[in-house]
Amino acid sequence: MNDALNLVGRVLIALLFVGGALQKVTEPAPVEGMIAGLGLPGGLVWPVALFDLIAGVLLVTGPRVRQVALVMATYCILTSWFHWQLRADPWQVTIFVKNWAIAGGLLVLAASGPGRFAR
C-alpha cells in the first residue's frame, strides 16, 4: 500500500509540473512578463518550461527519483520569490506558500525514496 500511495503522490506532484510546462508553452506571455518584471530575460520561460516537463516525467518514471525530488524542491524554494508580491497581488502569496509546501513534499520523497514503482 505504501508503494502505491508513493506512486500516486509522485504522479500528483508531477501533474503540477507537467501542467505548468504546458501552460508556459501555450500561453508564455504572463510568465515572460513576470520574469521580465524582475529584470530577467523573458525568454527564460522556454528553459523553465522544458525543466518543468522533464522533471515531472522523471519524478514518475525514474531513474534517480530522490535526486530529482531534491532538485525540484530547491527549484520550488528558489522560484517562490517570484510570487512574493504582497501588495501587488495577494494571490501570489498563496502561490509562494504552495511552492514551499510542494518543496516539503518533495523533500519527504527524497528522504523516503520512490518505493518499488520506479526504475
Any domain includes 99: yes
Q: Is 91 exposed, middle or buried (0-12, 13-18, 19+ CB in 10 A)?
A: exposed
How many Cβ atoms are within 10 Å of 5's Cβ, its own excluded?
Answer: 10
How many Cβ atoms are within 10 Å of 69's Cβ, its own excluded?
Answer: 26
pLDDT digits (tens, 9 = 90+) for 41-99: 999 999 999 999 999 999 999 889 999 999 999 999 998 887 776 666 778 788 888 99
Any domain includes 28: yes
Any domain includes 20: yes
Any domain includes 117: no
pLDDT of residue 48: 94
What is the extent of the structural domain holding 80? 2-112
Considering its fold, how many domains does the chain have in total?
A: 1
Spatial CA neighbour of 113 closest among 63, 76, 52: 63
